[in-house]
Structure 1
Amino acid sequence: MNIRSFGPGHRRADRAAGSQGVLSSAIFSNDIAQITEFTVTPGGTYGPLRSAGDVVLVVIEGGGWVTAHDTRVQLAAGESLHLERLTPYSIAARELPLRAILVELSASSVTESARTIGTSGGGAEE
């Protein structure tokens, strides 16, 4: 068991190329996934980014825009977005800071997940 603190007081400046006003904290990383909590200040931008595997962005506070494939979509707290592997994307905050969890799957885990989901038969939707 490993408890890891994240959020205020545990973030550091994220220096991803092109990023401005981003603080992040690594939550978990292994061969299957990397999970990061981050904030983007109002007017700030995170990216451009690209992941070898699928990406899930979960907005937990505030809101902003995600630009991918030359399309800009608005996201707010309580919403998530899935991007397929190798999709270039960037994240920008609106008037309030955007706080989110970024889950980046490795390329090999995406293949395994698709195989597992395809054979599981799915589930009931809430």
Structure 2
Amino acid sequence: MYLSTNHQKKPNSTWISILKELEGFDDFLIVTKENGDYVQCIRDNEKIIVEYRKHDDYGFKHYVIGNKILKKHLKTSWVILNTSSGIISVQKDEILKIEEVIFLFKEFYDFSSIPKSFNLRNITKLFT
């Protein structure tokens, strides 16, 4: 497993090193498993989004992660983020709090999965 920040890869990353980076990151952060699966987050000030890529025998699926509870109660509306990677449009429920981001990264680190309490919006077609 390795951690990437500002295009620098840090191999053999521990959860403590990932947590320290998450608590202070100001741009983007990616945690990648040996099989290529990853979670990544990027921010625009206090707005943070997380994406998840899962590989399988047929290629991969790529998702934006959202808050499932908010999704049920919010009318779909879009938010624009101005990030170091450019302009990104996401749904309002996909703007996550740092506590949610830390929880997601910990679950991915420990179990290679995303908790069922989060919504996955498939955006694979943007990459194929």
TM-score (norm 2): 0.28
TM-score (norm 1): 0.29
Structure showing greater Rg: 1
| Structure number having the greater strand percentage | 1
| Structure number having the greater helix percentage | 2
The structure whose RCO (Cα within 8 Å, separation 6+) is larger is 1
